[in-house]
Amino acid sequence: MLLASATTLPLLLAATGCRSSEAFDGPDPLAGPPSPSPDLVTLEAVIAAEANLIDLYKRAISGVSRATVPLLSQHEQHLAQLSARLVLPSATSSPVGQRPSPGASTVAPARATPARLRAAERESAADLVRQLGAAEPALAQLFASIAACHATHVAALGG
């Protein structure tokens, strides 16, 4: 009987024109999933940008120099740290990387040269710094740390 009443209550409320939020405190359970938080959207975009850098480095290793291997390893560590903080609110959320950040660049499949790596590192560091003001403190600290690392990669690449 309890199960039957639990399944018919939303139908009853919908049929009478009532919104469930008028009958209950809290978010409207009939309104669908909530939109993702700004931090989640930002984190997904930063993860996608880091994955793009990893792809660029993998192409550089195969075509330019093995000297970039340690830098690739650091980017993989960054991606692991970022991914560990990603907690999706529901199964309906988009997969990582499907919501691009306004400042995030997409890496073209062109040949990866040291100059292209330096430019990508500079751009990524700048994008991360721009995200600092809007991110929660723990996420901002991680972004700042990764941005600093990206800046040191520019120097390591001869820039």
In a domain, 83, yes or no: yes
Q: For residues 106 and 98, what is the distance between their CA atoms, to the nearest angstrom?
A: 12
3-state secondary structure of 150: helix
In a domain, 99, yes or no: no
In a domain, 135, yes or no: yes
In a domain, 30, yes or no: no
Length of the chain equals 159
22-51 pLDDT, tens digit per residue, is: 556 766 777 777 778 888 999 999 999 999
Residue 68 has a pLDDT of: 78
In a domain, 57, yes or no: yes
pTM over 0.85: no
> How many domains are there within the chain?
1
85-118 pLDDT, tens digit per residue, is: 988 765 544 444 444 444 444 444 566 788 899 9
Buried b (16+ CB within 10 A) or exposed e, 102-128: eebeebeeeebeeebbbbbbbbbbebb
